[in-house]
Amino acid sequence: MQKEAIAELQACTAAARENRTAEYKARGVIIPFPETVFIGEQVTLTPGCVLLGGTILTGTTVIGKGSVIGPNTVLHNVDVGEETELNNVTGTDSRVGSFCSIGPFVNIRPNCTVADKVHLGNFVEVKNSTVGENTKVSHLTYVGDSDVGRDCNFGCGTVTVNYTGKQKFRTTIGDHVFIGCNTNLIAPVTIGDFGYTAAGSTITEDVPANALGIARARQVNKIDWVLKKKPYKDQG
């Protein structure tokens, strides 16, 4: 993607870029800062969409009506539906549905399908995955090689652990699933419909539908350990 996009950018003259943005503005596309926006030759923009500053659209990218792209969003071969917001997003070879809220600082890597009404929050990365309708992945999470159902919620710090060093495996998550904060899902693994994982769990076995998966050591408090060991310099 990077080489293709760079080649497309290099081939475009300043006059061609200005003419293209002016043409789309005349058609009803809103571009407040046209001098900072690049629109490739094969890009399709629907009247009523908005391109904010720092937006770069290359390849066969399509932007639906009412969608707000940017600021600082780079898309290559990405199909975006209607009324979707992409703020500080990088996307490649993927589809994003309508009424989505994505960003800031989201990376959508190739072969992803993000359904309607999905929220991907700050510092989320999605790769080779499907994310079902109305699912929320709010922040600091990696979803790789996964099939995620609808109406799911991912807690902060969730990781789908998809690579053994030799082979990659998929994670399957059903509908209405709640993934607790700092959960590691060790693929291949399946979480059934309405399943839960407890925060801080490393899940290595399937969690049946309607079940709670807990995979963490019990907490042990060593009473007066600090007084006995005196680990701090100012304890004498």
Q: Assess whether 76 carries a catalytic annotation.
A: no
Q: Residue 206 is encoded by which pair of tokens? A: 């399937």
Active-site hit among 76, 119, 139, 176: 139
**How far apart are the C-alpha atoms of 89 and 138, rounded to whole Å?**
14
Burial 134-171 (b: 16+ CB within 10 A, else e): bbbbbbbbbbbbbbbbbbbbbbbbbbbbbeeeeeeebb
| Dihedral in degrees, nearest 10, Cα atoms 85, 76, 43, 104 | 20
Q: Is the dihedral of CA 108, 128, 176, 139 positive or negative?
A: negative
Tokens of 92: 């490649």
CB 207 within 8 A of CB 195: yes
Percentages helix, strand, coil for the chain, rounded to the nearest 5?
15, 35, 50
Six token digits for residue 99: 């009424």
CB neighbour burial string for 30-45, b if at least 16 within 10 angstroms, e if fewer: ebeebebbbbbeebeb
Instruction: At 165, list the tokens.
Output: 């060093």
Residues labelled as active-site residues? 139
